[in-house]
Structure 1
């Protein structure tokens, strides 16, 4: 993963969020965070496919996906979660209002995702067994946050 890729990704998401919030458009913040979740899904799909044996293990592809996953997890996404962007307030999101009632816990869960992604980036290109072992940390982090804070 190159620094240019991380910078480009961070700038793109940051500009989208800044423009959204400057105009007071909660819907834009929702779209941006959903985009981040789609990126998670994409890279985890590549890694999970290899871990499950649905796709042949390829060290280069695994490392690229893991590095990208870490880049996405490392983005400061705080502007993507403005108050009033929960599923009870806005159509088209599954974010529970509980997120804003317990933001420190959300931060802890976010740090667990970043840690899991870092462990995946350290392991994915090594071999299939290392990739499989790292899946638990990432999957556990996703699951913990979604169980607590994602509706429907």
Structure 2
């Protein structure tokens, strides 16, 4: 019985060996596991690159002081003309007109608000305008002095009318 068992075991082992050798491909090759990608392929959008266009720097010429002054005088002249105010050959006279217009506007606001604190603040502005006016009268020439006098008479009438409303 021992022999019988030995023979049966040998036969089983040979049968297993012979059954493996029936496939000639498996004898010569090692089994390799093939990996299949089960995820769908992600397609990246193609971005069309635009060529980089370099902008040319615009070189601004620096303005001279004379050019800046001329532009500011022109701007001031246009501003006064648009408001129907007189213009002068002398820049300080036009600056005075602009400052005086601001003073009259502030005076009007103070009268309408009946605010005495605003009147106190306006007294300093009035003193500065008086000094500026005296200096201007010495520097202006004949026709411009007359133009300035007419302007001041009109503004005095406006201020008197505002003061009467208080």
Per the normalisation by structure 1, the TM-score is 0.33
> 1 or 2, which has the higher helix percentage?
1
Answer 1 or 2: higher relative contact order, Cα 8 Å, separation at least 6.
Answer: 1
Per the normalisation by structure 2, the TM-score is 0.31
From the CA coordinates, give the structure whose radius of gyration is larger.
2
